[in-house]
Amino acid sequence: MGSLTLTKASRLQERIRAAVRGLPLTTYVAVGIFSPEPAAAVEREAAKLEQDLDVLARLLAILAQLRAATGRANAQCGVVDLLAEKAALEEELSLLTKLRPGLVDAGDFDADLGGGRRPFLRRHGGEIEAQVSAMRVRYEHAERSQTTFEAPLLDDAGVERLRERPLARRRRLEEIGDELRGINGRVRIEIDDDALTYLRERTVI
């Protein structure tokens, strides 16, 4: 039995897929009407098709063997769990990056009203009520029609905590990447010597 690291097994699977895609599988052949032996040409191509179909079946069988061995190794060494955690972190990070807390500063209330924009408040502890009261006074004096404003849900501490979450997720993703590279370069799988010999004969490896 031969052995391969998970990294090499993954590369070999890609090479086998490329070899499969490169097989000239077709059920027709173009034969010139002035060919001296058209029937013989057709028979040669038919025989070649049969050979290519055998090659296809053999390559796919070896690919299935590699996939099965890789799947077992991944489950045993924790790769499956790491990939699941990685997918969850990436999904969470995608959603977190859409949040932009504290990036919009409170502007001039009267200017916002005049420009047709909804005013935006910064949340500082218990100051929301005081800010809203001040806005009411300015609203009454300005006699504008705007009666709503943007109120942030996070105070400054909450903004900082939310900003830290994507950073923490990225750090963990980097750690997972390092762990996966270590596992892929260390863990080995076995493959039949006959399969390796066949792949060498087909110049896949």
Range of weakest confidence among 35-39, 79-83, 171-175, 177-181: 35-39
| Residue 165 pLDDT > 70 | yes
pLDDT class of 55 with cuts at 50, 70, 90: very high
Q: What's the rounded Cα separation, in Å, for the pair 146 and 107?
A: 15
Q: What integer pLDDT is reported at residue 141 of this predicted model? A: 65
C-alpha closest to that of 172 among 89, 106, 116: 89
Checking if the pLDDT of 120 tops 60, the result is no
Whether residue 110 has pLDDT greater than 50: no
In 10 A of CB 114, how many CB atoms?
A: 12
**Binning pLDDT at 50, 70 and 90, where does residue 99 land?**
confident
Please report the pLDDT score of residue 155 as a whole number.
75
Distance, CA of 159 to CA of 96 (rounded, Å)? 12
Cα separation of 83 and 135, whole Å? 50
Q: Is the pLDDT of residue 133 over 90?
A: no
Token code pair at residue 106:
């409170």
Answering whether pTM is above 0.85, one says no
Res 106: pLDDT: 41
- Per-residue pLDDT averaged across 129-136, rounded? 71
Residue by residue, DSSP assigns 111-137 as HHHHTTPPPBPPP-TT-HHHHHHHHHH
What is the percent of the chain where pLDDT is above 70? 77
pLDDT value of residue 119: 47
CA–CA gap between residue 30 and residue 133 (Å, rounded): 86
Q: What are the pLDDT digits (tens) for 17-34?
A: 999 999 999 999 888 888
Query: Pairing state of beta strands 188-191 and 2-5?
Result: antiparallel
- 150 three-class SS: strand
All residues at 6 or more sequence positions from 179 whose CB lies less than 8 Å from its CB, including other chains:
82
